[in-house]
Structure 1
Amino acid sequence: MNKSELVAAMAAKAEMSKKDTEKVLKAFEEVVTEELAKNGKVQLVGFGTFDVAERSAREGRNPQTGEPMSIPASKAPRFKAGKALKDAVNAK
C-alpha cells in the first residue's frame, strides 16, 4: 500500500474527504518527526511506540576491498509494535 492508497483507505474509514485525510496524515508525520528529532517518543497504546535508537561508533569493513573503516555514531528512528497490533497480525 502506498501513500495515496493509505489516504484513500483512511478517508473511507473516517468518512472524510481525501484532501482532509491527507492533511491529517501529513500532520501526524510532522509531529512524529519533530518529537523524534528532540529525542522524544510517541506512544500509541495498543498500536506501538515510535522512538530513537542510539547506535554507537564502530569499526566496519569495506565489502569491496575488505579495508577497515570507521562508522560514526548515529541515531535511527525505530517502531516497536504494541500487543494489539501484534495480535491482529498473528490472528488466524
Structure 2
Amino acid sequence: MNRSELVYEISKRTATTPNDVNGVLDALGDLMRECAADGSKLQIAGLLTLERVERAARTGRNPRTGEAIEIPAQPLVKLTPGSTLKAAAKGER
C-alpha cells in the first residue's frame, strides 16, 4: 500500500478529508524524524516502538579482495512491532 492508498483508506474509515489525513501523516512523520534525531523513544502502544540505537564499530571484509576493513559505529533507527501487530502477522485478530 502506498501513501495515497493509505490516505484514502484512513479517510474512508474515519470520515475525514484526505487533506486532514495527509496533515496527520505529515505530523507523524515529523515526530518520528525528531525522535530519531534527538534519540528519544516513540511508542504507540500495541502497534510499534521507534528508537535510535547505536551500531558498534566492527571489522568487515571487502568481498572482492577479502581485505579486512574497519566499519565505524553509526546510529540506526530500530522499529519494533507491538503486540497487536505481531498478532496480525500470525493471522490473529
TM-score by length of structure 1 reads 0.91
Return 5+ residue gaps in structure 1 as ranges.
none
1:86 aligns with 2:86: yes
Deviation at 1:2?
Answer: 1.2
1:3 aligns with 2:7: no
Deviation at 1:77?
Answer: 0.5
AA matched with 1:90: K
1:4-61 CA-partner distances (Å, limit 9, x unpaired): 1111111111211111111110110101110121111101111121111210111111
What number of residue pairs does the alignment pair up? 92
Q: Distance in 1 between matches of 2:91 and 2:76?
A: 30
1:71 aligns with 2:59: no
* Structure 1 stretches of at least 4 aligned residues deviating more than 2 Å after TM superposition: none
Q: Distance in 1 between matches of 2:55 and 2:33?
A: 18
Q: Distance in 1 between matches of 2:18 and 2:58?
A: 45
Return 5+ residue gaps in structure 2 as ranges.
none
Q: Distance in 1 between matches of 2:60 and 2:23?
A: 42
Match in the other structure for 2:18:
18
Match in the other structure for 2:52:
52
- How many percent of aligned residue pairs carry the same amino acid? 37
TM-score by length of structure 2 reads 0.90
Match in the other structure for 2:30:
30
Root mean square deviation of aligned Cα? 1.2
